[in-house]
Amino acid sequence: MRPVPPPGSEAELLSRAASLAGRTLAQLAFDAGVPVPDSQRRRKGWVGALVERCLGADASSLSEPDFTRIGVELKTLPLNRRGAPAESTYVCTVPLGRSPGRWEDSAVRRKLSRVLWVTVEADPVIPLAARRLGTAFLWSPNAEEERLLRADWEELTGLIALGRLEEINAHLGACLQIRPKAANARALTRAADARGAPAETLPRAVSLRASFTAAILRSAFPPPPG
């Protein structure tokens, strides 16, 4: 278990990520001194945590970017056999029971302001250990993307502020969605109801739709003309 120091610049981080491209998860796990699980069924965040270690992520505390010094968030992006995102991307938990504040100050905006996307093979026919990291790239939302994110965020937090959380499901939002996020469907957390009174509800998370990260991928790697 070799400790990797935090990167001192975006260039250093990108360079490290580029050096990991093409390596298998087995190779990364060996370098990190950790075993490769047989499957992700009971180790769902394993790839993300592995890549964090290999790149020197140092955020141990809450609501800080993974690379604290350079203010960059790390997200692994699992790609299916056609090279498209296989899953939505977790952003953060939804703060329930207090006022959402403004978009400018939101955790969603902060987390997404600067992201290193690290693509990873996720075709189920490839054994976990044999999957390779792909290209990594730095991203910040462009004006159009930020407009979309903000519109979704304001719609969703607006509903929550009105106590209409139970009306929210994963169908809402063009690029963001709010979905359950808990150990199981019986888990409860404190929230506020429509009158502001304390209530218990299922914890929720905000995530990016796979169609949105697919669009980010396309802008980062435009398809060859054909």
User: Is 97 within 8 Å of 190 (Cβ atoms)?
Assistant: yes
Query: Toward DNA, which CB reaches closer, 86 or 156?
Result: 86
Q: Which is nearer to DNA, 144 or 167 (CB)?
A: 167
Q: How far apart are CA 38 and CA 211, in angstroms?
A: 29
The C-alpha atoms of residue 206 and residue 167 are separated, in whole angstroms, by 15
Q: Which residue in the set 2, 5, 143, 186 belongs to the binding site for DNA (CB under 7 A)?
A: 186
**Contact call for residue 124 and DNA (CB under 7 A):** yes
Burial class for 51, CB neighbours closer than 10 Å (0-12, 13-18, 19+): buried
Q: Cα(72)–Cα(115) distance, rounded to whole angstroms? A: 6
Single residue of 20, 29, 76, 201 touching DNA by CB under 7 A: 76
Residue 88 touching DNA (CB under 7 A): yes
Sheet holding 133-139, edge to edge: 73-79, 115-121, 133-139
Decide whether 45 or 101 has the Cβ nearer to DNA.
45
Hey, how many other C-beta atoms are within 10 angstroms of the C-beta on 22? 11
- Taking CB under 7 A as the binding criterion, the range among 7-15, 98-106, 141-149, 178-186 that sits at the site for DNA is 178-186
Q: Which is nearer to DNA, 27 or 189 (CB)?
A: 189
Of 188, 192, 158, nearest to 172 (Cα)?
Answer: 158
Task: Please select the residue that binds DNA; options are 52, 152, 213, 217, rule is CB under 7 A.
Answer: 52
Of 9, 128, 119, 134, nearest to 75 by C-alpha is: 119
Residue 187 makes contact with DNA by CB under 7 A: yes
Question: In this chain, which stretch among 16-24, 89-97, 151-159, 218-226 interacts with DNA, using CB under 7 A?
Answer: 89-97
Residues that bind DNA (CB under 7 A): 39-45, 47-49, 51-52, 59-60, 62-63, 66, 73-76, 78, 80, 82, 84, 86-90, 92-93, 95, 107, 120, 122, 124, 169-171, 177, 179-189, 202-203, 205, 207, 209-211
